[in-house]
Each structure stands twice: as C-alpha cells, then as structure tokens.
Amino acid sequence: MNALGLPLLSLVLIAGPGIAAPPEAGSPAAADAASGCGRISIFDVAPRSQELYRARIMNIDGRLPGPTGTKTFRLPAGRHVLEVAELIDPEQFNDIQLRQRDMRQHPYKELVVDVRPDTTYLLGARLVQARRNFISDGSYWEPVIYRQNSEPCQ
C-alpha cells in the first residue's frame, strides 16, 4: 500500500526482440555480461571463390535473434548455439536440385560458437562441392565462421 492507501503494482519488464533484460545477479548470464561481449555478423562479404555464401540466423540459444533485417547480433562472451539456414545462390543448383532444396525436411543446421569478448565473427554457408548432389540429406552445405575480427563490443 502506498501513502494514498492504494495497492502497489509490480512492474515486469519483458525483453522483446533485440532488447536484452538485465541478467539476475549471480546468474551465468551476469558472469558473461561482466566478462564482455562479442558479435556474430551475417553481413554478406563471404568470398565466393572459397565456396562461401550468405547465411541466415534462425535462432540463437533457442531464441529469435532480433528484428528482421539485423545483420549483426551482440552476444555475451561464452558458448552459444546458432541455428543457421543457408542462402547459397540459386545459380549453383540445377532445376531438380532447387526443387529438392525447397522440399528438405530439416533445412537448418546448428553451429556452436565460443564468443570471445571484443571479437566479431563472420558467419557464412560453405557449399561442399564433393557433396553437391546430396541435397535431400543436407550434406551439400555447412555453416562456418569464416573470419573473425577484433573490435570493441559495448
């Protein structure tokens, strides 16, 4: 009850996409926050000469990663599990392969990344040439971190 005799209401802050709620003291997330942050980037600068193409992050640690169109995701330092979809250029496939690609039951793959503080990781999808004809089982591609850059994360 407040001074007017009215009941006090509790305010609950719910973190939405791209908004992080502050970690509870003593939690593993609080320890990660104290040790810094890093970034995962899907900005498309993947070198095609190395069979690297665009990728999309479907979720990070089982959660939606942020607003549509986001190219860089800030994460606390530590281990994170990314669920990744490939965006390999359609010109790399024939008509039958394109149809098989659209009908896959499991189009996403997991990638575990140990994020270090003040490091940005560039994520891409590698076309595995030796497995190029294995569309239906998904072994024609793999998610990869193809570059990492040191830069401050705040």
pLDDT digits (tens, 9 = 90+) for 92-122: 999 999 999 999 888 999 999 999 999 999 9
* pLDDT at residue 132 is higher than 60: yes
Comparing CA positions, the residue from 112, 116, 118 lying closest to residue 77 is 116
Given a contact cutoff of 8 angstroms between Cβ atoms, the answer to whether 141 and 86 are in contact is yes
What does the CA dihedral 61, 62, 68, 74 come to, rounded to 10 degrees? Answer: -10
Q: In the numeric block, which tokens belong to residue 45? A: 């600068």
The whole-angstrom separation of Cα 22 and Cα 32 is: 12
